Amino acid sequence: MVKKIIDFSLHNKLALWLMTLLIAAAGIYSAMTMKEEMLPSISSPVLTVTTPYPGATPEAVLDNVTDPIEKKVKSMEGVDTVSSQSMQNASAITLQYDFGTDMDKAEKKVQEAIDSLDLPEEVQDTTIDQISMYTFPIISYSFSNDENDIKGLTKKIKDDLIPQIEGVEGVSSVSFSGQQVEQVELQFDEDKMKKKGLTEESVLQFIKGATANAPLGLYTFGNDLKSIVVDGQFTSVDALKSLKVPATGAQDAQAGQGQAQQGAQAQGAQAQGAQGADAQAQMSPEAQKAMAEQMKSAKIPTVKLGDIATIKNVESRESISKTNGKDSLSIQLVKSDNANTVSVANDVKKVVDDYVKENKDINALLLMDQAKPIQDSVKTMVEKAVIGAIFAVIMILIFLRNIRSTFIAVVSIPMSILIALLILKQLGVTLNIMTLGAMTVAIGRVIDDSIVVIENIFRRMSSKTEPLRGAALIADATKEMFMPIMSSTMVTIAVFLPLGLVSGSIGELFRPFALTVVFALLASLLIAITIVPMLGHIFFRNGIKGHHDEKPGRIAHFYRNILEWALNHKWIVGILSTLLLIGSLMLTPLVGTSFISTGEDKLLALTYKPEPGETEEEVVDHADEIQKELAKNKNVSNIQYSVGGKNPFSPVASNDMAMMVEYDKDTPNWDSEAEKVLNKIATFDHPGSWKNQDFATGGTSNSVSVSVVGPTTEAIRETVKDVEDVMKKQKTLSNVDSSLSKSYEEYTIKVDQNKLAESGLTAGQVALALNQRSPETVVTKVGKSGDSTDVILTKDQDTKWTESKLENTKLTSPLGREIKLSSVAEIEKGQSSDTIMRKDGDVSATVDGKIKADDVGKTTADVSEAISKIDKPDNVKINVGGTSEDIGESFSQLGLAMLAAIGIVYLILVLTFKGGLAPLAILFSLPFTIIGVIVGLLLSGETLSVPSMIGVLMLIGIVVTNAIVLIDRVIHMEASGLPTREALLEAASTRVRPILMTALATVGALSPLLFGGDGSVLISKSLGVTVIGGLVSSTVLTLIVVPVVYELLMKLKNRRKKVTTETVVR
């Protein structure tokens, strides 16, 4: 089969040229049209269930909403953990499912479960959302104008710009905050309505009917059909104030007062009534008819709406947004799941730029742009790939000293990458830092197969003793190397295959990386047996002039001498190698561990959680103070904050504040900046809590997270405080903060049912009398159709409550008697938490701290040791997690992938060499990679991290490949009749050049990673250091240790065979 493929390539050059050009064009087109993202799409099996409960305290929310929902959903299929927050006015529950769960079905089941619950009437509709990495904004703009006219700016942005942005293909939603909203507020005067005998309900009903706007349909007018529309909408507030409301209830009120009189007054009224009736009976028919006509024309008594209610225009902002100290509006854009982040962001930026050009008075500031880091990553990785490829070419040229053969070998780099891109595009894989990083890593490996083939062709063509010529030589030389290059390619694929099969989010993150490497390697194998021999035949049709090296080169001769000495001194080689390995392992604790580089984004995301009772105005004042202080820093370029409304840190509208601080890229001492800022903020002594939300590139940061779980909030409060104190004493931690919410005073009114009944009252009527919260009711609209303003019913709220005032609150009985609240109820004072957090039914709190040191593992171990000494109640549990937990999970998954890879590699080698001893000798090359890895990490100051673990995985494939190339030649020479020692020395002379070429080509390809900024959080300096260090040590030791082990194993095999033979003879 292989021979047929090689022969086809040599005899159908034009067809192969055309196929190559078509594939290259398709690969380029695929690369240009692939979706560009920062990270691969990672499915998050998480549902959030948000249920508003207006006016409810956290305890009421917990008892009436959170607890019933938790009990209903916790035993559902696939649910792993249930976390909840019960806060004032809302319940927020997070359901974590097992990976692989069908989230659409899960969402449907949760909705059905909630629908079956009997929740309080005041509870509003529940919102269920699936968490996706695409639900977060990709672009954020801040808008302001020179006149600081927020009202005019709101209208312009809302009416003109937002519709244009929503029209951009790929835009899912646009959120608008900070805008000035105009509405009309209507507030009834209870006393005036009572005098007129009116109720709030009757007036609202009349307004609704009076201002109706209803199309009645088509009516026949002669031969034409014409529509009739009843339009009762008022065009102005003054017109609404002038609306006359029937006050017929006034007569009833007066009658009611008359009925209240007793004794003679009542009898007198009856007598007068009787006399009146007699008088009416004595009237003439004409007089009676005249009175009836007079009653028909009588007008119903009315009162103007403005006389019984206050109606006014109100301009307010739903949330406060400021940028660099000026009032501003904020727009955030979310793209649809299948849209291209870069193209959507660029299209939106063009729309905004064009709009700002047309409206010179509007200033637009781009605060967040996810497309830029993606484009920067692409640019950086492409640059590193090109530089790496150039380095690899130089290395090959140094060894081959022939431009044509170097060109033939280098062709495999672009072609392998383009074929991989073509396949990835068809599979729907995006162009992200994982696929780009894999391509950068693959450059040093995809050239190996071509190097081995062209080097063999070149060597045999250069030999005077070579009997074959032309196409026959090229075909035979290519076929000769097929088994070793196929084995080495399969081995490398086997190394990365388990990486793609790892479960959970880690598997989804690394799968595109594994797929890219696998496809690129398969493409390189195909190229090595098709394009390489074809180009070799074209360029070397007449043989190679000037290259007839019969004797080994200087490097080969030098290596042969060293190997001969090593084979004669096996014990010295074994002892020295073992000592080096043990010594490097002993240095491992000095290396330290970390997760993934946090990138180089210079952005602080600060949040402020107000003290219970703080108003929006007070929070804005705090934000202004901090904004002015931070603006003094010359490295700060922009500061934007928003107060009120919903934000990413709060699922319901609140007074929370979120502040984004953008710094210059060259800001010095960035690692300590967040701590400095928080220390400076602490000097302002604000009552609430400030925190830095560390949004590091890659979605993670180096932190310690300690969870404290117990039966009640009070049970864990002391333990949480102790944990916080311990963590604050750790010098390697900063930004230590607890999620345990603060408490505020709560008054519980315990009514006396008997006393209430005697007064004709109920507990519900007491609640109604005290309730200052009411759902926002739209009474009607004012203005022209299409440009109308809502008229909102409001109530006057008392903001100056005292305990005495609460006790003396007057309740009115059905008989009109006023009763003090304290006479029918007992008022108890207590404490209530601002937010109640629970996990799997228990109350929980977390204490977080950012790790300043590079060694995350050591810091976490120190924290764990200090926390273990805390004296805590038996019913309280403490668990230390955070980045160290992520490291443990990632390392264990990658460790399993490595073990699986080694097992698969051994199986492939056994199948290739048809025995177990030669593969065992090859595997002896693996342990010695550790020497270079440890020394490299120590010298460079890097830590053992996820990128370096990926590098170790790569090394398994590369190192084994070198050993395969060597041992395959040894076995081939043994088969031709040479003894093992001579076969080893011959293979050493023949194969040292391709082994060094492939190793140095890989080193050259990865060397750009050692310099400059990170192109991505995964393909970082630590990966380059790991591969280069491990490759240098393993290549040197592989060329010595593997032959020594192989000869030992062969001696044992021959001795055993000899013993067996002698036994049989006897």
Looking at the fold, whether 574 and 649 belong to one and the same domain comes out as no
Residues 513, 384, single domain; the answer is: yes
CA distances from 959 to 665, 873, 918, 929 (A): 39, 54, 15, 8
Residue 970 φ then ψ, to 5°: -60, -50
65: confidence class by pLDDT, cuts 50, 70, 90: very high
| Contact present, 630 and 676 (Cβ < 8 Å) | no
Same domain as 510, residue 430:
yes
- Radius of gyration for the alpha carbons in the chain, expressed in angstroms and rounded: 41
Structure tokens of 842? 């228990």
CATH number of the structural domain spanning residue 672:
3.30.70.100
User: 955 and 1042: one domain?
Assistant: yes
The Cβ-side half-sphere exposure at 491, using a 13 Å CA radius, reads 33
- Please say whether the beta carbons of 596 and 39 come within 8 A: no
Question: Considering only 233-237, 301-305, 905-909, which range has the smallest mean pLDDT?
Answer: 233-237
Q: What is the pLDDT of residue 679?
A: 84
Measured CA angle at 741 (ends 740, 742), to 5 deg: 125
Residue 155 banded pLDDT, cuts 50, 70, 90 = confident
Distance CA 704, CA 730 (A): 11
The answer to the question of residue 187 being in a domain is no
Answer yes or no: is pLDDT of 979 > 60: yes
Per the CB < 8 A criterion, the answer to whether 944 and 1023 are in contact is no
C-alpha distances out from residue 962 to 532, 968, 1050, Å: 20, 10, 20
- How high is the pLDDT of residue 149? 82
Boundary-marking domain end, from 369, 393, 412 = 369
- State whether residue 850 is helix, strand or coil: strand
Q: 236 in a domain, yes or no?
A: no
pLDDT tens for 808-831 read: 888 877 777 788 888 888 888 877
Question: Does one domain contain both 922 and 1028?
Answer: yes
SS3 for 859-885 is HHHHHHHHHHCCCCCCCCEEEEEEHHH
Query: Are residues 528 and 390 both part of a single domain?
Result: yes
Please tell me whether residue 789 adopts helix, strand or coil conformation: strand
H helix runs in 914-1019, sequence order: 917-923, 929-940, 946-975, 980-1006
Q: With the C-alpha atoms ordered 317, 321, 325, 331, is the resulting torsion angle positive or negative?
A: negative
Q: 27: pLDDT confidence band, cut at 50, 70 and 90?
A: very high
Residues 969 and 983 in one domain: yes
- Computed over every residue of the chain, the mean pLDDT equals 79
Query: Residue 7 has what pLDDT?
Result: 87
In a domain, 184, yes or no: no
* 351 and 499, same domain (yes or no): no
Tens-place pLDDT, residues 595-605: 455 445 577 88
Measure the CA–CA gap between 586 and 644, rounded to whole angstroms. 55
Whether residues 628 and 580 fall in one domain: no
What's the pLDDT score for residue 1060?
A: 67
* pLDDT at residue 299 tops 60: yes
The distance of Cα 528 from the centroid of its chain, to the nearest Å, equals 41
Output 191 or 521, whichever has higher pLDDT.
521
* pLDDT for the residue 265: 45
CATH code where residue 81 lies: 3.30.70.1430
Task: Categorize the per-residue pLDDT at 283 as very low, low, confident or very high, splitting at 50, 70 and 90.
Answer: low
Is residue 496 one of the residues assigned to a domain?
yes
> Residue length, the chain?
1066
Domain around 390: 1-40+376-541
Q: What is the mean pLDDT of residues 479-500?
A: 82
Angle at 446 between CA 444 and CA 449, to 5 degrees: 115
One-character DSSP codes across 423-469:
HHHHTT--B-HHHHHHHHHHHHHHHHHHHHHHHHHHHHHH-TT----
Distance of alpha carbon 586 from the chain centroid: 38
3-state helix, strand, coil in the chain (%, to 5): 55, 20, 25
> Which range has highest mean pLDDT (16-20, 379-383, 996-1000)?
16-20
The tens digit of pLDDT for each residue in 916-954 reads 888 888 888 788 788 888 888 888 877 777 777 777 777
pLDDT of residue 772: 61
Q: What pLDDT is attached to residue 134?
A: 61
What is the structure's pLDDT at 886? 56
Task: Give the span between the Cα atoms of 16 and 19, in whole angstroms.
Answer: 5
Confidence at 529, pLDDT banded by 50, 70, 90: very high
Q: Other CB atoms closer than 10 Å to residue 820's CB: what's the count? A: 12
pLDDT at 30: 92
Residue 773 belongs to a domain: no
Residues 161, 166: Cα–Cα separation, whole Å: 9
- 408 in a domain, yes or no? yes
Residues 101-125, mean pLDDT to the nearest whole number: 89
Is residue 897 included in any domain, yes or no? no
The separation between CA 905 and the C-alpha centre of its own chain, rounded to angstroms, equals 35
Tell me the C-alpha distance between 758 and 756, whole Å: 5
Domain edge (last residue) among 663, 695, 727 = 695
The confidence score (pLDDT) of residue 257 equals 44
Average pLDDT over residues 136-144: 85
What pLDDT, on the 0 to 100 scale, is given for residue 86? 86
- 931 lies in the same domain as 1027: yes
Indicate whether 549 pLDDT > 60. no
Question: Are 108 and 3 part of one and the same domain?
Answer: no
Q: Are 128 and 110 in contact (CB under 8 A)?
A: yes
> How many structural domains comprise the chain?
5
Arithmetic mean of pLDDT, 645-657: 58
Domain assignment present for residue 1001? The answer is yes
Residue in this structure with the two tokens 């390189």, named with its chain if needed: 524
Q: Are 529 and 388 members of one domain?
A: yes
pTM for this structure? 0.70
Answer with the one of 695, 727, 746 that is the final residue of a domain.
Answer: 695
CATH of the domain at 354: 3.30.70.1320
pLDDT of residue 252: 47
